[in-house]
């Protein structure tokens, strides 16, 4: 008994890699190996690149809007129509200014997700599940090993990225101090360049960390979807079907095919026998086929059954050992006989037709 329990325990251990079906089922539920840091880093990288390229255009557009507001809009009479017009024009200008960043963010988000999980659309994570608000499980998630790992990762990212940004600030500290002696436009331009530089440097560092995080997320995902040997057996049964049930189904199908075959014996023209080992029932209908067709065949007990049905239904039985054996091994049920057997089968059928003719004449 202890040995049996130990075997059951080991069979239940999650030691096997997930099967393709398991992976597909998890994917349909929205459970995939994915790092949010990859999304964030690519999003920031795209955004800072757009700022670096279109920063001057965005600055000029904002200054133009600012000037127009205090040179034109400020003199307008306040009415419902003018307020709506001002609101509409300002929103259009702001949309033009912000649109490049929004488009870059959208492209970055799609790119990051496709890179990690491919094209995937599922509503499964949005379904209401009481387990998600279970306080006990919530506490287990908060104080789990994964939560501790995520905390350590966040602290490391803050320290690492903070160190990079501090290094850049320290490098430009002297120039920063000198900006107090320059005009506002020059100072804003300088701090804008430094900010973009810090952003791109921090984003590159985050991108490097995100690759490591993705590798960890993939490892953790693979570990969580592992299967036990029993899980694999159960899945195989569900996919392929229980072997016992499949065997019963096959036996049922065999019985149905056997009954159908036996029902064809009474309509046969002749049964060629071995005489005891083989029995081949042949039917020839010129309107349906160009050659005689094997409608039933059997060996041993089944051959005896075919001969018994043939006898009850006055179907002629002809003994021809070589022909019976050859037809049994060569031709399947409901198949026409090959040309090699035309001569031998034709002779048998001629004999049967001649015999039936004599019997008919005697009956007259």
Q: Could you write out the DSSP letters of every residue in 88-112? A: HHHHHHHHHHHHHHHHHHHHHHHHH
E strands in 16-143: none
- Tell me what the pLDDT averaged over the chain comes to: 81
Read off the pLDDT of each residue in 138-164 and give the average, rounded to a whole number: 79
Q: Residue 5: which pLDDT band, with cuts at 50, 70 and 90?
A: very low
236, 21 in Cβ contact below 8 A? no
Facing residues of 273 across strands? 279, 319
| % residues pLDDT > 70 (the chain) | 86
Q: What is the pLDDT of residues 238-287, one digit of tens each?
A: 766 666 667 777 888 788 878 888 888 888 888 888 867 888 888 888 77
Question: d(Cα 276, Cα 300) in Å, to the nearest integer?
Answer: 7
Q: Which residues contact 136 (CB under 8 A, 6 or more apart)?
A: none
101 burial level (CB within 10 Å; 0-12, 13-18, 19+): middle
Residues 251-288 as b or e (16 or more Cβ within 10 Å = b): eeeeeeeeeebbebbeebbbbbbbeeebbbbbbbeeee
Token pair recorded at residue 82: 């003018």
Position 252 scores a pLDDT of 84
Q: What is the pLDDT of residues 18-28, one digit of tens each?
A: 777 888 878 77
Q: What is the pLDDT of residues 72-97, one digit of tens each?
A: 888 888 888 888 998 999 999 999 98
Position 253 scores a pLDDT of 78
**pLDDT greater at residue 143 or residue 157:** 157
Residue 123 pLDDT > 80, yes or no? no
CA distances from 214 to 116, 210, 233, 357 (A): 9, 6, 31, 88
The gap between the terminal CA atoms of the chain, to the nearest Å, is: 82
Token pair recorded at residue 257: 């095919």
Read off the pLDDT of each residue in 101-116 and give the average, rounded to a whole number: 87
Does the model's pTM come out above 0.75? no
Read off the pLDDT of each residue in 99-116 and give the average, rounded to a whole number: 87
Question: d(Cα 278, Cα 323) in Å, to the nearest integer?
Answer: 10
CA distances from 126 to 22, 133, 140, 152, 252 (A): 21, 14, 22, 29, 45
Phi then psi dihedrals of residue 70, to 5 deg:
-95, 0
The pairing of beta strand 293-299 with beta strand 278-283: antiparallel
């Amino acid at each position: 008994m202890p040995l049996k329990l130990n075997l059951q325990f080991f069979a239940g251990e999650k030691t096997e890699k997930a099967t393709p079906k398991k992976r597909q089922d998890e994917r349909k539920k929205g459970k995939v190996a994915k790092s949010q840091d990859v999304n964030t880093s690519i999003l920031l990288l795209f955004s800072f690149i757009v700022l670096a390229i279109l920063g001057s255009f965005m600055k000029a557009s904002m200054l133009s809007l600012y000037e127009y507001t205090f040179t034109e809009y400020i003199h307008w009479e306040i009415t419902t129509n003018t307020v709506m017009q001002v609101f509409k024009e300002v929103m259009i200008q702001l949309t033009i200014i912000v649109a490049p960043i929004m488009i870059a963010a959208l492209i970055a988000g799609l790119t990051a997700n496709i890179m990690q999980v491919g094209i995937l659309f599922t509503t499964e994570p949005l379904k209401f599940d009481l387990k998600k608000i279970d306080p006990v499980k919530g506490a287990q998630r908060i104080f789990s090993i994964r939560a501790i790992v995520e905390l350590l990762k966040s602290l490391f990212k803050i320290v690492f990225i903070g160190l990079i940004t501090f290094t850049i600030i320290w490098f430009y500290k002297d120039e920063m101090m000198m900006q107090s002696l320059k005009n506002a436009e020059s100072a804003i331009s300088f701090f804008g360049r430094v900010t973009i530089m810090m952003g791109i440097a921090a984003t590159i560092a985050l991108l490097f960390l995100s690759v490591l995080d993705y590798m960890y997320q993939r490892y953790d995902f693979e570990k969580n979807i592992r299967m036990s040997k029993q899980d694999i057996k159960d899945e195989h049964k569900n996919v392929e079907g229980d072997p016992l049930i499949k065997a019963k189904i096959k036996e049922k199908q065999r019985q149905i095919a056997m009954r159908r075959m036996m029902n064809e014996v009474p309509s046969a023209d002749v049964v060629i026998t071995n005489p005891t080992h083989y029995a081949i029932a042949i039917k020839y209908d010129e309107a349906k086929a160009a050659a005689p067709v094997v409608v039933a065949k059997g060996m041993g007990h089944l051959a005896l059954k075919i001969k018994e049905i043939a006898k009850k239904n006055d179907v002629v039985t002809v003994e021809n050992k070589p022909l019976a054996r050859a037809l049994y091994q060569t031709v399947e049920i409901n198949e026409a006989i090959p040309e090699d057997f035309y001569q031998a089968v034709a002779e048998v059928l001629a004999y049967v037709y001649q015999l039936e003719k004599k019997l008919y004449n005697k009956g007259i």
